[in-house]
Structure 1
Amino acid sequence: MSTLSDAQTDEHINLIQGSADVEWRYEMRRECQEILPGLLLGPFQASKSLDVLQSLGVTHIVCIRDKREAFSVRARFPDHFRYLVLDVEDNEDQNVIRLFPEADAFITQALSAGGKVLVHCNGGISLSPAFVVMFVMRHCHLSWEDALHLVQNRRYCISPNGGFLTQIKEYESIYKASVAVASFPQGQMQRIVSRRKRDDDDDDETGVEDRKRALVDGDRDDAMAMDS
C-alpha cells in the first residue's frame, strides 16, 4: 500500500515539475510551449506562421484577445484551423470564470478528437495562461497552486494579474464541487430530491390547512362578536 502511495506521489511531482531537460531562454517567450499532451500555450506571435503551426501539428486555436486588439490579434488562417475567438479585457476586473466553460468545452472536444490546441493571447503572459491554468486544474484534478506551478514549469514567463489569480483560486472550489456532484450516486441523489419534494409538499399542505383554519377561526370570532 505504501509503495503505491509513493508511486502516486512521484507521478504527481513529475507531472507538476515537467521535464528537467528544458533550459528556459528569454526568446522562448515568443514561442509556444506544450503544457499537456496536445495543449500548447503561447503568445500571438506563435500563431502567425502557418508553417510553424502545421509543423507543430496544431488543429485548433483559442484566440483570447482584448477587444482593443481585435484589428491585429485575430484568426489568421480560418481555412486551416478551427478557431475559438474570445474577446476579453486584460484587466483585474474581468470575469474569466464566466468565460472559461466555452474555452474548456472547445479544448476538451479538440483533444478528445485527437487534435492539438494552441491557446494564445497577445503576450501569452497573463490572459491566456489564466484559462490554461484552470483547464489544467480541472482536467488533472490539481489544486490551484499545483496547476499554476505545472504551467509555470513549462512556460516560465507566465504571470496572471492579481484579479485572474484570485479567480484561479476561487475556481478550485467550483470545479471540486462539480466533481463531487458528478460522482454522487444518481439513485441516492434522486431519493434526496424526492424526499425534499415530499417535505416541501407537506409543508405546503400544512400551510394551506393553517391558513384555512385561521380563516375559519376568524369567521367564527366575527360571528360571535356580531351576536354579542
Structure 2
Amino acid sequence: MIDMTASHCYQEEINSTSNRSSILYSSPTWEYFCNASMQEIVPGVFLGPYSAAQMHCLANLREKGIRYIICVRQDVEAHFIRPQINDPSFTYLTLDIADQVTENIIRFFPKVRTFIDEALSKNFKVLVHGNSGNSRSATLVLAYIMEKFGLGLSEALDFVKTKRASVNPNEGFCAQLSEYEPIYKARQTLNNGESSFSNRIRQKRKSEQLSEAVNDICHYDLIQPPPSPISCDYGSLEDIMKNNSPTATDFSNHLYKLWLEQRPTLTMNNMDERLPV
C-alpha cells in the first residue's frame, strides 16, 4: 500500500517550498517537455496532459505502476479526450468539467479523493489528466494534496509548480480551492471528534455490560454465609445448653447441612454465560 501521509521526504520537500515563490523555468525546451509529459507530484499521484494516456503510452504507464486514470474533459472535448486505454486492468474515472471560472469543480473533490485513495490502497498509482494538465486536472490534484498534507492553496501551489511548472488553475478554481481549506479541516476535526466520542461510548457500554453481569452474578449466584445458630428460633446458645438440647456443635452442623441443601449452585459455565460477549 502506498502511504502518502508517511512519505516524510515529500512532507519535508513541501515544507521547504511553502515559504518561497514557485521555481521559474526560463528554458522553452523545459517548458515544452514539462507540458507534454506527466510528472509524479507526490508518491503515487501523477499529473499530465491527455497525450500521456494514449494507447502508445501503455508500456510506460504499466512500467510506472499506473492502473487508475482520471480523465477530465467537457462535452465538446469528448470526441478526443476520453478513455484511451482499452485494457481491463485499468480503472477510469471520467469527469465532465469545463475550464471556466464559473464551473463548480469543488463538488468533485470528494469523489477524486476516494478514487485516488482506493488506488493507493491497492498499491497502484494514479494519473490525473485533462487536456493540457494545467488547470482542471491540476486543481483536482491540488485539492487532494491540500487535504492529505494539511496545506493551504499557496503552499500546495508552490510545491506543485516545482514538479510541473506549467500548472495554472483559472481564477474560479483558485477561489474554490481557497474555500476548500476550511471545509476539509472542519470535516477532519468533526471526524476526529466523532471517532473519539464513539470510542468513549463503546468503552462505557462495555463497562456497563460487565457491571450488569457482575451484579447479576452477585444477586443470584454468590454463596451466602450460613445462618448463625444464635439467631434461630431455639433461643440463645445458653438456653439450648441449659435445656439439655443437642450440643452447640451438633446444632451448627445441622444448620450447615440445611444450608448446603438449599444454597444456589455456581459453576464456571454459569459465570461464562452471564459475562458480556
Counterpart CA distance in 1 for 2:119 and 2:198 is: 32
- In structure 2, what is the Cα distance between the partners aligned to 1:12 and 1:40? 17
Aligned partner of 2:191 among 149, 159, 182: 182
Residues 16, 147 of structure 1: 8 Å contact kept: no
Q: Which amino acid aligns with 2:171?
A: G
Cα drift, residue 52 of structure 1? 2.1
2:81 matched residue in structure 1:
73
- Of residues 15, 37, 40 in structure 2, which corresponds to 1:31? 37
Superimposed CA distance per residue, residues 119-153 of structure 1 (whole angstroms, 9 cap, x where no aligned partner) = 00000111100000000000111122111112111
CA distance in 2, matches of 1:15, 1:53: 25
- TM-score when normalising by structure 1: 0.72
The 8 Å contact of residues 14 and 155 in structure 2, kept in 1 or not, is answered as no
Q: Deviations over 1:134-175 (max 9, x none)?
A: 000001111221111121111110000000000010000100
1:210 match: none
Per-residue deviation at 1:103? 1.2
CA-atom RMSD in angstroms: 2.3
- Indicate whether 1:42 and 2:48 are aligned: yes
Deviation at 1:188, TM superposition (A): 9.7
Hey, what's the Cα distance between the residues in 2 that align with 1:102 and 1:139? Answer: 14
- The range that moved more, 24-33 or 122-131, is 24-33
Instruction: Describe the shift of the 1:188–1:130 C-alpha distance in structure 2 as closer, same or farther (beyond 3 A).
Output: same
Number of residue equivalences: 178
Q: What residue identity is the alignment partner of 1:55?
A: E
After the TM superposition, which segments of 4 or more aligned residues of structure 1 sit over 3 Å from their partners?
10-13, 187-190
Residue identity in the other structure for 1:65: R
- Which residue does 2:111 correspond to in 1? 102
Q: Which residue pairs with 2:132 in the alignment? A: 123
Q: 1:55 to 1:168 in 2, by over 3 A?
A: same
The answer on whether the counterparts of 2:72 and 2:95 sit within 8 Å (CA) in structure 1 is yes
TM-score, scaled relative to structure 2 = 0.60
Larger radius of gyration: 2
SS of match in other structure, 1:170: helix
Unpaired segments of 5 or more residues in structure 2? 1-8, 18-24, 202-277
Q: Structure 2 vs 1, CA of residues 154 and 181 (structure 1 numbering), >3 Å: closer, same or farther?
A: same
**Which residue of 1 is the match for residue 160 of structure 2?**
151
